[in-house]
Amino acid sequence: MTITTPSTEPAGSLDTDLLLDVRGLQTHFETQFGIVRAVNDVSFTVRPGEVVGIVGESGSGKSVTARSILRMIHKPGRVVGGEVLYRGQDLLGVSDKEMQALRGSEIAMVFQDPQSALNPVMTVGDQIAEALIVHGGEKKASRARALELLEQVGIPDAPRRLDEYPHQFSGGMRQRVVIAIALASSPKLLIADEPTTALDVTIQAQILRLLAQLREDLGVAVLMITHDMGVVAEMCDRVVVMYGGRVMERGPVEAIFSAPQLPYTADLLAAMPKLEDGEEHRLPAIPGAPPDPSRLPTGCSFNPRCRFAEDRCRESVPVLTIRGPEHSAACHVTGDGAPLTPAPPAEATAARREIGGEPLLEITDLRVDVNCGRGGLLGKADPVYAVDGVSLEVRPGETLGLVGESGCGKSTLARAIMGINPVSGGSVCIGGQELGPKDRAGSKRIRETVQYVFQDPFASLNPRRTVRQSIEEALEVRGVPAKEREAEILRLSERVGLNPLHLDRLPHAFSGGQRQRVGIARALAAEPRLLVCDEPVSALDVSIQAQIINLLSDLRDELDLGFLFIAHDLSVVKHISDRVAVMYLGTFVEIGDAEQVYSDPQHPYTASLMASSPKPDVAQRDRERIVLTGDLPSPKNPPTGCRFRTRCPIGPLFRDDRQVCIEQAPTLTPTATGQMAACHFPGELAAPTA
């Protein structure tokens, strides 16, 4: 194993127009299990006004790199080597006081979660002004500047909102405030750590557009840390790919996306489901899981998962070598000029599914009041219909995809089907029988037909019970005799790809993907005919998502399961679904054949969702985007008429003559293209990608 890997590129020639030049950065964490090399010899540069993306999965060291640059590493972590040159000055060498002066005024940080980055007891205006005052601003001038900044980041009605508190802002608006604070002292470099991960697609599009605009107007450089290849393709000029604490590839965004020189980058791009994908196929998933930074494999960290791995990959760490203009990669195999053949499509499943038969799930005009049963001893709380008049059906072997932003009621719908939330109107038929008021969660009729796969597999497993106990519990309920359970557990764990040797571990000893496999095994243990999957892959790393999606579709095909597949990621839903329903504020705005809805969306909301979702394709970055204004209204007080009218780009907001949208609620009606859409003017706004 090479101990230190001197970069074989021309070492930082005295390039004076570099804003940030990170050279051989090393950050270690000293834990009781030994030294964790979270950042291991990382080098990259940022020029003024440039957007550089650092992409990587969890544990790749991307966030630690960002924090090391700003010297925000706390014990037991320590920057042990390298240089962070900011305009030629080594940030690792300056005093704490100088560093404090640099933070904010020269380099500012935007955090992932705007909720926890803002102080809840200070007005937004005071928080922005504070950022100016600590750098020597005068009080009155600071307030004026705060107002200017709020306007700059696109907060409407800024003079009034200046004196409001963070809780009065929506998630997207809060992130704008955080950006305003970061911009307060006109920094030259903005470090954004997953700035849009906590936000919805349409809001993400707003924030990305804002960042692009700020860079244009102010010339601020952005170092963007993200796991989302789509965001990278949309935003970045150059990309740094990190894996196992090292830079594995870096180069111009076009080169990385069109001709990656690293098997990891190539396979990661191939493993992502894409909106443009045509007919059904299995995703070429990367096997295994991202390595634990405390137990990195020897040699190239990616070697256990690599299709091309050779002996030397296990023995020595590859160094970055030049592959093109500004493009370098660390790989033994491609270094010798071997081409990266596309991953062979994963073997197709033997079982062919047939959609048909009696519907497993039939919902008519369902309404769910999430405030039901709330309220004190005196009086009830006002009803809030998170689901308001929804009808759908799912047949054996069929997947109905359900997309929508957070707060649109998709999880409430799923929970109502499972009997967790009581139904306040309409009917739910499971396996041909209508649920009565007595059918609560887990009643025999529900559990024998439907099971639930949770979004966060860690939260859905009792941390004190082993995986074996969790699966056994489900078998016990099904009435499997104690003697047969062991064999059944082995069969299930094998089916979902769990190592039977690991069954006696507690959930925390598993990786995210493994935990989701446990969740699926537990759901299957009840032998259901329908699975309700509530965002089953959104908590997982990109390289793991494809594995779980493949597993789910295999299970569907083999066992003839019906799926209600809920997700906010449009391409994931498209990949797995036969039919798709788009939900907005408690109602379906469009429902129909997946291919049809995606190729020719009829509702303006569907069209804008598709236009907003970032695509991992550089060629598409200049496409026309429909960026919706505003936020999702509250279901407590939905708009009259069409619920989407307050944000609709073809509605009364932009066209005064369309009073019908305010007065009359549209119903789902068949459109010219075959699907159903709830819009007075269907098909008028076409998705630009169509």
Answer whether 196's CB lies under 8 Å from 204's CB. Answer: yes
Map tokens 């020897």 to a residue.
Answer: 298
Q: Which stretch binds another protein (CB under 8 A): 321-329, 378-386, 456-464, 661-669?
A: 456-464
Check binding of 174 to another protein (CB under 8 A).
no
Size of the site for another protein (CB under 8 A): 43
Check binding of 584 to another protein (CB under 8 A).
no
Cα separation, 601 vs 596, in Å, equals 7
Check binding of 627 to another protein (CB under 8 A).
no
Cα separation, 263 vs 283, in Å, equals 16
Count of CB atoms situated within 10 Å of the CB of 492: 22
Count of CB atoms situated within 10 Å of the CB of 429: 16
Check binding of 688 to another protein (CB under 8 A).
no
Residues with Cβ within 8 Å of 667's Cβ and at least 6 positions away in sequence, in order, are 678
Residue 304 C-beta: closest distance to another protein, Å = 19
Site for another protein in 517-556 (CB under 8 A): 519, 522, 526
Check binding of 504 to another protein (CB under 8 A).
yes
Cα separation, 488 vs 479, in Å, equals 12
Residue 551 C-beta: closest distance to another protein, Å = 18
Check binding of 480 to another protein (CB under 8 A).
no
Q: Which stretch binds another protein (CB under 8 A): 146-154, 177-185, 483-491, 535-543?
A: 483-491
Cα separation, 657 vs 38, in Å, equals 59
Residue 362 C-beta: closest distance to another protein, Å = 19
CB-nearer residue toward another protein: 299 or 457: 457
Residue 492 C-beta: closest distance to another protein, Å = 12
Q: Which of 506, 627, 660, 665 binds another protein (CB under 8 A)?
A: 506
CB-nearer residue toward another protein: 451 or 675: 451
For the beta sheet containing 530-534, the strands, ordered from the edge strand earlier in sequence to the opposite edge, are 450-453, 530-534, 562-567, 399-403, 579-584, 587-593, 676-677, 669-670
Which residue from 212, 260, 234, 267 is spatially nearest to 50, judged by alpha carbons? 212
Check binding of 456 to another protein (CB under 8 A).
yes
Check binding of 94 to another protein (CB under 8 A).
no
Chain length of the chain: 690
CB-nearer residue toward another protein: 44 or 565: 565
Element housing 173 (H / E): helix 171-183
Check binding of 461 to another protein (CB under 8 A).
yes
Site for another protein in 231-260 (CB under 8 A): none
CB-nearer residue toward another protein: 303 or 451: 451
Check binding of 419 to another protein (CB under 8 A).
yes
Element housing 20 (H / E): strand 20-31
Cα separation, 633 vs 636, in Å, equals 9
Residue 338 C-beta: closest distance to another protein, Å = 36
Residue 373 C-beta: closest distance to another protein, Å = 7
For the beta sheet containing 238-243, the strands, ordered from the edge strand earlier in sequence to the opposite edge, are 107-110, 189-193, 221-226, 51-55, 238-243, 246-252, 327-329, 321-324
Residue 318 C-beta: closest distance to another protein, Å = 31
Q: Which of 14, 377, 378, 482 binds another protein (CB under 8 A)?
A: 377
Residue 385 C-beta: closest distance to another protein, Å = 21
Residue 617 C-beta: closest distance to another protein, Å = 36
Answer whether 658's CB lies under 8 Å from 685's CB. Answer: no
Check binding of 361 to another protein (CB under 8 A).
no
Residue 555 C-beta: closest distance to another protein, Å = 17
Phi, psi (rounded to 5 degrees) for 414: -65, -40
Check binding of 674 to another protein (CB under 8 A).
no
Check binding of 29 to another protein (CB under 8 A).
no
**How many angstroms separate the Cα of 393 from the Cα of each of 436, 530, 532?**
18, 11, 13
Residue 319 C-beta: closest distance to another protein, Å = 34
Residue 120 C-beta: closest distance to another protein, Å = 21
**How many angstroms separate the Cα of 592 from the Cα of each of 10, 364, 392, 472?**
56, 16, 11, 39
Q: Which of 136, 442, 670, 674 binds another protein (CB under 8 A)?
A: 442
Answer whether 547's CB lies under 8 Å from 384's CB. Answer: no
Map tokens 């809060």 to a residue.
Answer: 174
Tell me, what amino acid is at 219? G
Check binding of 34 to another protein (CB under 8 A).
no
Check binding of 348 to another protein (CB under 8 A).
no
- Judged by the rule CB under 8 A, the positions of this chain that interact with another protein are 373, 376-377, 418-420, 441-444, 446-447, 451-452, 454, 456, 459-466, 473-474, 476-477, 487, 490-491, 494, 500-502, 504-506, 508-509, 519, 522, 526
